[in-house]
Amino acid sequence: MPSPAVKPTRAERFAGLSVAIVTPFRDGKIDSARLRQQIDAQAAACVTCICPVGTTGESPTLSHDEHERVIAESIQASAGRILVMPGTGSNATAEAVRLTKHAAKEGADAALVVGPYYNRPTQQGIYEHFKALAEAVDIPICVYNIPGRTGRNIEPETIIRLAELPGIAMVKEATGVIDQASQIIGATDLTVLSGDDSMTLPLLAIGGRGVISVVGNLVPADMKALLDAFEAGDLAGARRWHHRLFGLCRDLLGLASNPIPIKAALAMLGRDTGEVRLPLVPLEPSQADKLRSVLIGYGLPIG
C-alpha cells in the first residue's frame, strides 16, 4: 500500500515492479520451456507483474498466432502467482481490439496498449482508438506512450480525457519528459508507471507508482529494492539503488535497440539463446565486449 503522503491511484494492484519479459527463441521458434523458466524466476523474485509481447517481447516480428500463443502460455505459466499484462497494441484499432479481447479471454489481468504507430493519427484518433478498446473489454487498459517508437506523442490533454473512461487505468510513461508525467499525475488518478528504468526514481518522486522494467529481466531484486526503499520512506536508500542501477540501465539500453542488448545479456548469463528476429540483428563484437564489461562491472556472473 502507498504511504499516506501518496494519493491513491486507479490501479494500485499494479504498483511496484512489472517486468517487460523477452520472447525466447531457439532456432527461430518460440522456446516455451525457456519462457516458463523466465516467468518462474520473476515469480520467485516476487515482482508485481510481467508484461509479455511488448517492445521487449519483440511483438513486431511475431505472427498473430505466435502473439496469442505467448499471451496464453505466459498466463498459464504465471498460474496466479504474479499479474500478467500482455502487450495488445496495434496501429489498426480492430486488430488491437481483437488482441485485447483474446488476452482478456485467456485471463490477463490488464492489457498494455501502445499508441497507434506509423500511421500518425490525430489526438482525436488516438482518443477514439483507446475509447474503443476500453469499451470492448472489462480488463483495465494501460496506455503505453512511447513516441520515439510510434512517431506520435499522446499529449497529456488526451490522456486526461481518456482518464474519464473507467476502463483506462494506467499509463506507461516512456516519453522521457517529466513535465508531461507531472501534468498527468496532477490531473488524474491514473496509475502512472515509468517506461524507462533510469527515470523510475524521478517519476516516483512526483507520484508515479512503479516501473515496467527491462533491466528487471537481469536484476529484479535490485529494481524491487529501489521501489521498496522509496515506498518505505527511505529516500537515501532509494537514491543509492538508483545510482547503482543507473550505469547498467544507461549502458545496456544505449548499445542498440531494445531488446537486442537485454537478450545478449541474458545469453551471457546463460539464461537465453540471445536470438533475435530480423530486422533485428545481434550486437557487433565491440558492442558485445562492452556489454560484457558492463555486466561484470555490475557484479553479474558471466559464464
- Which amino acid would we find at residue 277? R
- Which amino acid would we find at residue 101? K
Q: Which three cell numbers stand for residue 76?
A: 498459464
d(CA 85, CA 245): 24
d(CA 156, CA 208): 15
> Which of these is catalytic: 172, 224, 263, 298?
172
> Which of these is catalytic: 131, 144, 224, 263?
144
Q: Which residues make beta-bridge pairs with 111?
A: 141
d(CA 55, CA 114): 9
d(CA 44, CA 164): 36
Residue 172 annotated in active site: yes
Give the three-state DSSP class for 295: helix
Q: Are 195 and 173 in contact (CB under 8 A)?
A: yes
In DSSP notation, 189-214 reads --EEEESSGGGHHHHHHTT--EEEES
d(CA 108, CA 152): 27
Residue 144 annotated in active site: yes
Residues marked as catalytic: 144, 172
